[in-house]
Amino acid sequence: MFEVTEITDAPVAGGPSIRALRRCFGALLLVLWGWSVGIDSIFWRDSANYSYGWVVLPVALFFLWCRVQSQPAGFWSEIGATRAEGWLPNRWLLVAAGLLIFPLEVTRTEYHQSGVVLWAINLATVGITLTGAFWLGGRRLLNLVVFPTLFFLTAVPWPARVEHPLVQQMMISVSQVVSEALLWCGVPVQTDGAVLHLSNGSVGIVEACSGIRSLQSGLMVCLAIGELSMLSVTRRWVLTFLTVLLALCSNLARTFTLCWIMEKGGEAAMHHRHDLVGNIAMYSLYALIWLIAQGLGRVGSKDIWPEPRQGLSLSKFANLHWHRIPDLRPLLMVGVLMFALVHSWYAVLRLQTKPQLAPQFTDRTGTGVGVGVGLEKVPFDEPTWDQLGATSGESLRVTNALAPLGFAGAYHLFWKPSPASRTALHHRPDSCMPGLGWRQVGEVGTVEIPISGTPLKWLVFQFEQPNAKPETKMLQLWGVWRNGEPVQMNYSSRLSVLPEVYGWLPSARHLSGVELVSMFVPYRDGEPPFDVARRLLPEFFVFKPFQAGESKMGDLPHP
């Protein structure tokens, strides 16, 4: 049996002492994990899909503690006796890595839901943690900590490039499957994209009802239960596969039940039982995952729990290869400097920015001007409004003989500077319309249409709904302004999930109000009704340009 020695403070090859290396490595991990948890916790707080993230880090730490405590004393001394291995980076490479903090933090701050950046930051945190474990204890220590470390990634928001198309497809699929099930049960139903029209009302399947929440939280619970039950790798894969199936089936059962309640009891009964049915479906899913894990489990699975007499002693880490840790001081200092530079820049912008606190556009309902006589407001349904998170807004509809189908619609949304205003541009036609059963056709164009005498540029989208009988098409005009200035969008790149044109330096983007206006004209045959759109759009709204000098400083969000 090898003996455990104390950590010395001797210098390493003329460089910093082992104690200094250890402290620097610990400080770097603390900064990186603080950064990751800080940026992820915004989503845990604001998004119901990721609210389970609050428990992931404590559970990951618990798994790490269990694994460390379950190892015999000889495990640590044997690690110390093995030959150290692994390539060590030079300090200039570490300095270059520290410089990357600047563009990462700028992009993360400017675009609240940049999933690629969030994953880059979290993967850097996880990667440095696992690399440090390999330096300190080779493959044996790496294998010990790899699962608890990677488990944290279940709390990281999915990239929009992955999540948005998946959610849209799930919404459509759920509506189609539930529609077939209702017809088999003798309930008349008509499907319009992700909306189920029943005799007593309509049930819209929005993002929260798509099943993505059950899938994401179910996978986290599945991995946690697999670890607690000490399942083999193969059995964990089986449990994961069954969890995905159960999550999808659970959401189908939930949606079917709500539609059945709507059909039999009406809209009030459906809304009254909405949360209860959702909670039953969610917690039933977790219970089924646990039961399946017990069936897949093996005798003695509780051996993972450390014996009560074992304490958490740091002496077991004494024989790790601390001399293999590179000098991380350049990385730590440059990284902290870049982080401080970014937020100092934002502090100056915060003092200079005059935010837009009121909308530029107002609707013409009740004015008696133009088509305003036949213009009416249509209330947003509650789930949609909650998802938008706008400060104010209205949905409009006009009956007019100019429109090919006799009517046209519009909506107007305004966000004061807030966390919700950072995600305003995610509510775009190309992102939201496919979830309602519309398919985008053609390229995105531009057109200039004046409102109240002011020329304004609008993006032009075209959609079709081939599943509708008869087939329906739609022409949609869309414009967005930030602090009174039009936002430049570039749809020529198919690689961008958020096609806003932006730079790489800090801006007042997330400190500004956002205003979004759109009009849509449905039609069936012939060419898109551009002339109709040009004539009707100015009749929906009055436009008064935002003047920065007239604005008062409001409650600006912290960067």
Amino acid code (one letter) for 353: T
Tell me: cis bond preceding 470? Omega within 30 of 0 counts: yes
> Between the ranges 17-21, 117-121, 277-281, where is the mean pLDDT highest?
117-121
d(C-alpha 412, C-alpha 514), whole Å: 11
Mean pLDDT, to the nearest integer, of 528-548? 87
- Write the pLDDT tens digit of every residue in 124-135: 999 999 998 888
- Write the pLDDT tens digit of every residue in 150-189: 999 999 988 877 777 787 778 778 888 888 888 888 888 8
Mean pLDDT, to the nearest integer, of 430-449? 84
Q: ∠ at Cα 514 (377, 400), nearest 5°?
A: 30
Percent of the chain with pLDDT over 90: 28
- Please tell me the predicted confidence (pLDDT) of residue 242: 94
* pLDDT(53) > 60: yes
pTM for the whole structure = 0.78
* Closest residue by Cα to residue 231 from 126, 134, 147, 139: 147
Q: Which residues, 6 or more positions from 555, have their beta carbon under 8 angstroms from its beta carbon? A: 417
- Please tell me the predicted confidence (pLDDT) of residue 299: 42
- Write the pLDDT tens digit of every residue in 224-240: 999 988 888 888 999 99
Which residues on neighbouring strands pair with residue 377, listed in sequence order?
A: 396
- Write the pLDDT tens digit of every residue in 547-559: 754 444 344 444 3
Rounded to the nearest 10 degrees, the angle between the axes of helix 91-99 and helix 329-352 is 20
Beta carbons of 557 and 510 less than 8 angstroms apart: yes
* Closest residue by Cα to residue 211 from 266, 153, 172, 242: 172
- Please tell me the predicted confidence (pLDDT) of residue 4: 38
- Write the pLDDT tens digit of every residue in 241-281: 999 999 989 888 888 888 888 888 877 787 788 788 888 88
- Please tell me the predicted confidence (pLDDT) of residue 60: 94
d(C-alpha 559, C-alpha 112), whole Å: 10
328-354 as b/e: b if 16+ CB within 10 A: bbbbbebbeebbeebeebbeebbeebb
- Please tell me the predicted confidence (pLDDT) of residue 366: 62
CA 401 to chain centre: 42
* pLDDT(68) > 60: yes
Identify the burial level of 288 via C-beta atoms within 10 angstroms of its C-beta, where 0-12 means exposed, 13-18 middle and 19 or more buried. Answer: middle
* Closest residue by Cα to residue 461 from 447, 475, 480: 475
d(C-alpha 48, C-alpha 38), whole Å: 17
Identify the burial level of 516 via C-beta atoms within 10 angstroms of its C-beta, where 0-12 means exposed, 13-18 middle and 19 or more buried. Answer: buried
Counting every residue written for the chain, the total comes to: 559
